[in-house]
Each structure stands twice: as structure tokens, then as C-alpha cells.
Amino acid sequence: MARPRQFDEQDALTAATELFWRRGYHATSVRDLGEELKLTPSSLYRTFTDKHTLFLRALDHYRATESTQAQRRLDASDRAVREVLREWMLWLVTCPAAESGRGCFVVNTATELGTTDAQVQERTEAAFAVTRQILHAVLAKGRERGELSTDLDIDAAVESLFTTVLGLRVRERAGHSLERLTTAIDFAVRALGDEPTQLA
């Protein structure tokens, strides 16, 4: 009869995600993971196969959590889209992860591994695509409700905002002041154009 596992696999995955997020892929050893997860090397390999497989699972775990956060914070169903976008971008650079200097796990990973790992790149690009899709939906809603000009090129605006967000993530991790980051955020929001004049 197989001996039951003496740990919660989901808790172990969460702990691994936190460790990879803090240190990055290359700076995290199997020994580090074993100590953090309180697993012997044999238990670690039996459960997660290897470091790379565990890293992919950690990245998936983070992506699922981040996507849920983004969808909730970018809900423009009952608020002005400019307000929603500004508050979301400010949250990105003031949330607990930002205050601890960890930045965004996905952005950190894309920066560290780039295009050298196809499986990782597939996941980082998928995460970026989700962010773009959510931004597109928010801007489309704003244009539909008359908050944004009908002439606004939504696809171009998405790329501009997305690039701003990536820059904010990097600058926040580099320790740039909130005042400067807020200036960039406000400019990005103003770049969406003036709100159309409502005719009486």
C-alpha cells in the first residue's frame, strides 16, 4: 500500500512560486527548493519531476492568480474607464509585491529567460496576451459608452498602455519613486484623449 504524502501539494506549489518569484529561475537551486518546501530531493522529484517542471507549474499558478486580480481590478462595469485604468496601474506599483521589490513574476521571467526557453516563453506570451485582451475590452467599453473618442485606435492604445505597464513593472522593481511613476501613469491616461463633448 502506498504511503500517503505528508504535505499539501498546493501549499508546496505556492511556496515554490514565492521562492522562484524572489530569486528567479537560475538563482534557485534544487536544494533551495527542498529547504523551502521541506521536502527531500527524492520527494521533490517524485512529486514535481524536476526543477524546470516545478518552475512551469509555479508560473502557471502565478498567472492564474494574476489574471483573476487583473480582471477584478479592470472591471469597468460601473466606473469610468480612465479611473479604472489609473487605479489599476497605481496598484501595480504600490501593491505588497511592489513594496517588497519583487516586481511581476511574469515580467521578471521574461526578462531573465527571454526566448531561450520555449515552454516558458509560451507562458509569458500567453500572460501578456491576457493583459492585452482585458485592456482591449476596457477601452472598447469606454468607447461604446461615449467616454472615449470613436476615433481612438483601440489596438494602438492597448499596445501603448501595455508597454507602459511593462515599463512601470521594471521601474518599480528598480526602486524609482512613486511620484515619477504616477507622472507616467497620468500621462498614459491623458494620451487616450479628451472625453468627447456630450451634446445637449
Q: Kindly report the three-state secondary structure assignment for every residue of 144-176.
A: HCCCCCCCCCHHHHHHHHHHHHHHHHHHHHCCC
Total domains present in the chain:
1
Q: Is residue 17 one of the residues assigned to a domain?
A: no
Q: Is residue 36 one of the residues assigned to a domain?
A: no
Which tens digit of pLDDT belongs to each residue from 73-99?
Answer: 998 888 999 999 999 999 999 988 777
Q: Is residue 172 one of the residues assigned to a domain?
A: yes
Q: Is the pTM of this model over 0.75?
A: yes
Q: Is residue 21 one of the residues assigned to a domain?
A: no
CB atoms within 10 A of CB 194: 8
Q: Is residue 76 one of the residues assigned to a domain?
A: yes
Helix (H, G, I), strand (E, B) or coil at 81: helix
Of 52 and 72, the one with more pLDDT: 52
- Cell 515552454: give the residue: 119
DSSP 2: P
21: pLDDT strictly greater than 70: yes
Which tens digit of pLDDT belongs to each residue from 120-163?
Answer: 999 999 999 999 999 999 999 999 999 999 999 999 999 999 99
- Cell 513594496: give the residue: 99
Q: What CATH number did the domain enclosing 111 receive?
A: 1.10.357.10
pLDDT at 197: 66
Q: Which of 47, 48, 59 is nearest to 20 (CA)?
A: 59
3-state secondary structure 28-47: CCHHHHHHHHCCCHHHHHHH
Q: Is residue 54 one of the residues assigned to a domain?
A: no
Q: Is residue 31 one of the residues assigned to a domain?
A: no
Q: Is residue 2 one of the residues assigned to a domain?
A: no
The domain in which residue 74 lies consists of 59-190
